[in-house]
Amino acid sequence: MKHIKFYSDGSCLGNPGPGGYAAILCYQSHDGQEHEKTVEGYQANTTNNQMELQAVISGLRALREPCQIDLYTDSNYLKNGITSWIHQWKRNGWKTSNKKPVANRDYWVELDALARNHQINWHWVKAHNGHIMNERCDEAARKQAYLAKEQSQA
Amino acid sequence: MKHIKFYSDGSCLGNPGPGGYAAILCYQSHDGQEHEKTVEGYQANTTNNQMELQAVISGLRALREPCQIDLYTDSNYLKNGITSWIHQWKRNGWKTSNKKPVANRDYWVELDALARNHQINWHWVKAHNGHIMNERCDEAARKQAYLAKEQSQA
RNA sequence: GGACACCAACUUCG
DNA sequence: CGAAGTTGGTGTCC
């Protein structure tokens, strides 16, 4: 299996508001060369957490084969959601611990389906704390968010 | 009641670092003459916001009777803090909206006690935007900050 | 009650 | 260009 380092981040101006996301995927080909692929996009009206989810969903969609992935996010919501909370949600009909419907259910379902094809190690990194790749994702996602803002003003 | 125009500003080299503050108080005596009083000072290690608070505290301390004051500051932090946020802080045990302890609590408590003796109209003015008196305060406060720096180097 | 993130605003500086 | 001092708010979960 290819081993991939997968960095992701989302941004949302105003929250809710125009948002963007970015994922950077790094891997080595057979001859030992480093490769890097960036996946990014934006949405006119969204939330910070939706963009964090979308970043990973879009990155995983770009993979054509099962991979072993080290995935880095600064979102506790995202990491805990997919590694822990989701098991309970599937069991209890997608209810929060306060019995309210889980938000962003569609995103979680799609993320779960995509993640199933790979072996993912989830890593949480603190935002704006000197992690170079996380900061690159942050900048790319923010740039996309500003694109979304311009589009919606035009 | 005496009517006073009260201009204040703070400065802090490095932030945190050596800082200074200045308040300029203008009023008319009975015979219609204009008077002006400047209060200033410095501190070896402080923050920009502490100096903004200290400027007003020191100016108010200089008053010997209750006055009607038009007070001008360029600090949104200062104006919103004393006119709006402080009510919630007193109610909830001085917690920030993120549940962390409010910073500079001692300054806020003293400012609140002093302000209570007067009738103050708070005005926010944009910094470095041509307001003559605000710029005079700015220069005086900066001068004090450099004094603090010299002292700490000596 | 806790945690993470996303923003908004002002100021102070380097 | 960069960071720090500070606050308010929302998105989300346990």
Chunked into runs of 10 residues, chain A (154 residues) has average pLDDT values of 96 96 95 95 97 98 97 97 98 97 98 98 94 94 95 84
For strand D, list residues 58-117 of chain A whose Cβ lies within 7 Å of it: 75, 77, 81, 85, 88-89, 96-98, 100, 102-104
Of the candidates B126, B2, B141, B130, the residue with the CA atom closest to the CA atom of residue B70: B2
Tens digit of each residue's pLDDT (9 = 90 or more) over B73-88: 999 999 999 999 999 9
Q: Give the full edge-to-edge strand order of the sheet including A34-46.
A: A34-46, A17-28, A2-12, A67-73, A119-124
pLDDT of A21 reads 97
Distance A34 CA to D1 C1' (A): 30
pLDDT of B27 reads 96
ipTM of the complex: 0.90
For B35, residues 6+ apart whose C-beta sits below 8 A from its C-beta are B26, B27, B28, B29
Q: How far apart are CA A21 and CA A48, in angstroms?
A: 9
Residue nearest to nucleotide C3 (CA to C1'): A76
Q: How far apart are CA A16 and CA A103, in angstroms?
A: 14
Q: How confident is the model at residue B154 (pLDDT cuts 50, 70, 90)?
A: confident
pLDDT of B152 reads 87
Is B30 considered catalytic here?
Answer: no
User: Is A74 annotated among the ligand-binding residues?
Assistant: yes
- CB-CB neighbours of B10 under 10 Å: 31
Distance B5 CA to D5 C1' (A): 27
Is B128 considered catalytic here?
Answer: yes
Q: Is the pLDDT of residue B153 over 90?
A: no
Give residue B64's Cα distance to chain centre.
18
Q: Six-digit token pair at B87?
A: 């009510």
Q: How far apart are CA A65 and CA B81, in angstroms?
A: 56
Q: Domain range holding A123?
A: 2-152
Is A112 considered catalytic here?
Answer: no
Q: How confident is the model at residue B12 (pLDDT cuts 50, 70, 90)?
A: very high
pLDDT of A150 reads 92
More confident site: B152 or A6:
A6
Number of domains in chain A: 1
Q: Which of B20, B74, B81, B118 is catalytic?
A: B74
Beta bridge partners of A9: A22
Show which positions of strand C are touched by protein (CB under 7 A). 1-14
B85 Cβ contacts chain D strand, under 7 Å: yes
pLDDT of A153 reads 82
Show which positions of strand D are touched by protein (CB under 7 A). 3-14
Mean pLDDT calculated for residue range B57-76: 98
B98 Cβ contacts chain D strand, under 7 Å: yes
CATH of the domain at B32: 3.30.420.10
A44 Cβ contacts chain C strand, under 7 Å: no
Q: How far apart are CA B86 and CA B135, in angstroms?
A: 28
CB neighbour burial string for B68-95, b if at least 16 within 10 angstroms, e if fewer: ebebbbbbeebbebbeeebeebeeeebe
Residue nearest to nucleotide C6 (CA to C1'): A48
Q: Is the pLDDT of residue B3 over 80?
A: yes
Q: Which of B52, B59, B81, B118 is catalytic?
A: B52
